Amino acid sequence: MSPQAILITAFAGAGLVFLAGKVHSHLRDFLAVLSSLALVGLIAWSHGQYGPDNEIVYVPDFLGMELALRLNPLAWFFAIYIAIINAASVVFSLSYMKGKEKLGFYYSMMLLVNAGMLGIVLSGDFLSFYIFWEIMSWSTYLLISYRRGPALHAGMKYIIMSLVGSCAMLVGILSLYAQFGTLQIAELGEAIAGSSSGYVLFILMAMGIAFGVKFAILPLHTWMPDAHSEAVSPFSAVLSGVLVRMGMYGFLLVMYSIVGLKTILNLGAGFFNFHYILSWLGAITIVIPTFIALLQNDAKKLLAWHGIGQGGYMILGMAFGTSLGVAGGIFHTINHGSYIALLFLVVGAVEYRTGGVRDLNRLGGLIQRMPVAFFGCLVGIMGLIGMPLTNGFVSKWFIYKTLITEGHPFLAFMAFVGTWGTILSVYKLLHNMFLGQLPEKYKEVRKAPISMQIPILFFCFVIFLFGVLPGIPLRAIQGIQDTMGFAPLQLTMWGLASGAGALNMLNICFAIVIAFAVVLLLMRLGAKPRRVPQEDSYAAGSSVPAGKYHHSVEFYNPLYQMISPYLKDRVDQFYYWAADKAQGVFELTRRIYTGYAGTYVLYIISFLALLIFLQLAWEIW
């Protein structure tokens, strides 16, 4: 299947759904699901069809440049990942969004964002890349704003930072064009080989700002907590699961497909090596946001901060340029996509059934009311922590191994600290939503509708599948690494056969199953358990009347008080300060236009005088 057909389907789907929304709501929903699933099918079908047949020039002359599409292992891998998470979110939206206004707009924007992202990964030149990047950016902005209220502010914050990034990228791209006379990704790789390291660094910086904003690397992350928590939940899943990771795609493309492994590793000297600095940024991006996540009481904000923190792991894996590290970084990207999307959907399901509550201090005890959501949440946080049997374990294993074998104990330590923070904060998420006592008002909560359960269970399945059989995605990742010139890893279906970081998930799986069996056996041998109602709980030896005491309020309060003074988002504060000052300057500038004709005449005459003065003083002509 040619990349052109995929993109035409994607954009046409977005357009048709909007029109169908004017006709009938069922037709619209049907078309939305159909086109998102069709995309998954089309992309899956095109697996392995790489090569010159699928390098297509679709516009021969756009302002004198060729616009091209291409399909290669990297593009395919990201495309399928985008399409699957988007399709799951669209299915989830069916009941989540039911009865809300402007649904035609909502669905078509979901599909447009999807189409934009597919366009980015299928682009064969940087101009197409930029065009699709911008389409994705503005449609995301519209979709974030969709929820109204505080979402408007979040949307503005997002689009302004995104515009700054885009400007930087545009300068970078056109500087490449000015230098080499082409924007074809394949040709740039060869052309850039002889450039000075200063120039390469400039390109990496310019592009890095754009990718860094999307990727939410510190200090460019501040849009993300607001945007992710204010968007509607299915879109939060897309936003955090894939859209942010377009930054990862960009980094991979520029660092390894274009600039090349050799140049990257030799960029800079000693301590001020490019990939060294990038990995430290990654480490900081892990630690600080993860602990800020701990402080959040809004379930979606908590997840959003984790989205930033987990991005740090990907950067950390990718920055080192070893086969193991980059494989870990890429693998972590899709793993993170699967469980963060799952968690956002779970929070969305809870929100949907409880009437829009996502404040962790007001939830609790929903385990029996919403068992599937609970299971999804449990699997999701297991993945996020990186428990064995889940996919998060494998990718984190790769990343840790890389840090240790490359001799960076400090970075490894920061990564571990991040995991501890993750454990604490996601337990809070699970506990405060599902465990503890059930508040009186949630007695009547029903379980999530089937169209929500399907995506949730699907992601659970993926998490375990890739956790036990990591060979499936790793094969595809191997294909990407081959195109970038990395040494191949010794892969098996169960993990890594030999060398640094040998891993066999099958053995681990058996060990865990046996351990489970032993525990189960011991429990059977012990006293017979007695079933009690959920409200039957004790504190300090006496029973607590239902509704008197809620376990999940002010979780971790002492810890909170201890660490919160250190964890202010000073970057965000700085941006607000700068924006405030800038507005002050704007106000002052407006005073130039006094409204008095006399002043304006004075300006005109002064300008004439200035011109003549300039000539007299410096002979400008």
Partner 1 sequence: MVSPILLIAVPLGLAFAIPVLGLASKRVPRYVPVIAMLFNLVVSVSLLPHALKAPIVVRTAGWAPPYSIHLVAGPLGVLLSSLIALIGLLVAVYGIDYIREGAKVKYQILYILMLVGATGVVLTGDIFNLFVFFEVLCISSYALVAYRGDSTGVEAGAKYLIQGAIGSGLVLIGIGLVYGTFGTLTMADIAANVSSVGSFRLFVSLAFLITGFGVEAAIFPLNGWLPDAHSSAPSSISAILSGIAIKAGLYAIARVVYTVYGASSILPFLAVLGIVTLLIGEMCAFGQEDIKRLLAFSSIGQMGLILFALALASATGISGAVFLIVSHGLAKALLFLASGYMIYRTGSRDISSLNGIGKRMPIMSLCFTVGAFSLIGLPPFVGFASKFTIVRAVLGTGSTFFITLLAIGLIGTVIEGAYFLRIVQGFYFKPAPEDSPEQTEGKVPFSALVPVGLLAVLILTIGLFPGIVGRVLGPAADDLLDRTAYVQHVMGD
Binding region for partner 1 (CB under 8 A): 61-64, 102, 130-131, 134-135, 137-138, 141-142, 145-146, 148, 151-152, 155-156, 159-160, 163-164, 167, 170-171, 174-175, 177-178, 583, 585-587, 589-590, 592-595, 597, 599-601, 603-608, 611-612, 614-616, 619-621
- Nearest approach, Cβ of 94 to partner 1 (angstroms)? 23
For residue 491, what are the β-bridge partners? Answer: 496
Give, to the nearest 10 degrees, the angle between helix 323-354 and helix 409-434.
20
- Nearest approach, Cβ of 30 to partner 1 (angstroms)? 24
- Nearest approach, Cβ of 248 to partner 1 (angstroms)? 22
- Nearest approach, Cβ of 228 to partner 1 (angstroms)? 18
- Nearest approach, Cβ of 308 to partner 1 (angstroms)? 23
- Nearest approach, Cβ of 58 to partner 1 (angstroms)? 12
- Decide whether 54 or 222 has the Cβ nearer to partner 1: 222
> Could you tell me the strand order of the sheet in which 491-492 lies?
491-492, 495-496, 503-504
The label of the residue with tokens 């074998």 reads 405
- Decide whether 538 or 586 has the Cβ nearer to partner 1: 586
Rounded to whole angstroms, how far apart are CA atoms 439 and 194? 67
Q: Nearest 5°: CA angle at 44, between 38 and 46? A: 105
- Decide whether 232 or 350 has the Cβ nearer to partner 1: 232
Task: Output the six-digit token pair for 321.
Answer: 């340029």
Rounded to whole angstroms, how far apart are CA atoms 586 and 373? 49
Alpha helices in 254-367 (DSSP H): 261-265, 274-294, 299-319, 323-354
SS3 content of the chain, % helix, strand, coil (to 5): 75, 5, 20
- Decide whether 63 or 532 has the Cβ nearer to partner 1: 63
- Decide whether 114 or 481 has the Cβ nearer to partner 1: 114
Task: Output the six-digit token pair for 65.
Answer: 């440049």
- Nearest approach, Cβ of 55 to partner 1 (angstroms)? 22
Task: Output the six-digit token pair for 28.
Answer: 């619209």
- Decide whether 59 or 517 has the Cβ nearer to partner 1: 59
- Decide whether 521 or 601 has the Cβ nearer to partner 1: 601
- Nearest approach, Cβ of 132 to partner 1 (angstroms)? 8
Rounded to whole angstroms, how far apart are CA atoms 290 and 385? 11
- Decide whether 17 or 40 has the Cβ nearer to partner 1: 17
- Decide whether 539 or 611 has the Cβ nearer to partner 1: 611
Are 369 and 349 in contact by the 8 Å Cβ rule? The answer is no
- Nearest approach, Cβ of 227 to partner 1 (angstroms)? 14
Per-residue HEC secondary structure of 432-457 comes to HHHCCCCCHHHCCCCCCCHHHHHHHH
Kindly report the number of other CB atoms within 10 A of residue 600's CB atom.
13
Are 210 and 169 in contact by the 8 Å Cβ rule? The answer is yes
- Decide whether 269 or 620 has the Cβ nearer to partner 1: 620
- Nearest approach, Cβ of 601 to partner 1 (angstroms)? 6
CA 402 to chain centre: 22
The label of the residue with tokens 């979110």 reads 89
- Nearest approach, Cβ of 608 to partner 1 (angstroms)? 4
Kindly report the number of other CB atoms within 10 A of residue 587's CB atom.
9
Kind and range of the H or E run holding 45: helix 25-45
- Decide whether 156 or 186 has the Cβ nearer to partner 1: 156
